[in-house]
Amino acid sequence: MLQSSSLSRILFPAVIAILGWFALITQFYINITSGLAGTTELIIRYFSYFTILTNLLVAVCCTCIVIIPRKGAGAFFSRPRTLTAITVYILIVGIIYNVILRFLWQPEGIQKLVDELLHSVIPVLFLVYWWFAPDKRNVQWKHIFSWLIYPLIYLIYILIRGNFSGFYPYPFVNVDQIGITKVILNSIGITLAFTITGVILITAGKWQYRRQTSASAGTIKYTKP
């Protein structure tokens, strides 16, 4: 019989994966049936949102951890360094949406449910899952620089595509409306947000490890020979 800790390590990512796939598939259906553009363009737009790409990353991560936890992709996604990077990404999704974008529209019905899952519920759940992941002491400050590659590539992609298509997924990177200078300043600010979030998580992980180690050492009992 599985121990409760082992069971939770499987059940928790399973719940996140189920919620993630539900939200992603439902959002895809909503986008495709919106009629705002041709089908091909709508598919491209769907995969042009950082929210979608990052929640997809979370869903794949959790699915692999559940199905193949000790080999291949499952082992890769289970690494503290990988989990911490993904936590940074999904937290930025939640922070930017709830601080900047939430007040720009008022979704209703199933769209509102999906919106909350993608931008609030899943980021919080994944943060909790990361917090209880084992031994994050070896996640180093230098890793933050490699974590910035993903959002940098994303930024370059949406700026290049936006230049040709006129579609920018977020208002703070819309060159046509706010100009390239403002977009660059916004991008620098978001880069700082990624960096600060990474620093906070690494610091928290190291503090957690020291605390757990001290607690474990305090419970050791010695007996006379």
Q: What is the pLDDT of residue 215?
A: 64
Structure tokens at 190: 């978001």
Which residue bears the tokens 């992603």? 24
Q: 60, exposed or middle or buried, with CB in 10 Å at 0-12, 13-18, 19+?
A: middle
DSSP state of 61: H
- Which tokens sit at 169? 């997924």
Give pLDDT tens digits for 164-206: 999 999 999 999 999 999 999 999 999 999 999 999 999 999 9
Closest to 127 in 3D by CA, of 91, 174, 93, 73? 91
3-state secondary structure of 57: helix
pLDDT reported for residue 6: 55
**Mean predicted confidence (pLDDT) in 15-19:** 97
Residue 10: pLDDT band with limits 50, 70, 90: confident
Average pLDDT over residues 30-37: 93
Higher pLDDT, 221 or 37: 37
Whether pLDDT at 225 is above 60: no
Cα distances (angstroms) measured from residue 33 to each of 28, 43, 49, 122, 217: 9, 11, 17, 24, 58
CB-neighbour burial class of residue 77 (10 A; exposed 0-12, middle 13-18, buried 19+): buried
CB contact at 8 A, 62 and 16: yes
Identify residue 118 by its one-letter amino acid code: L
> What is the residue type of 210?
R
Per the CB < 8 A criterion, the answer to whether 151 and 89 are in contact is yes
| Interacting residues of 184 by C-beta distance below 8 A, sequence separation 6+ | none
Separation between Cα atoms, residue 112 and residue 80, nearest integer Å: 32
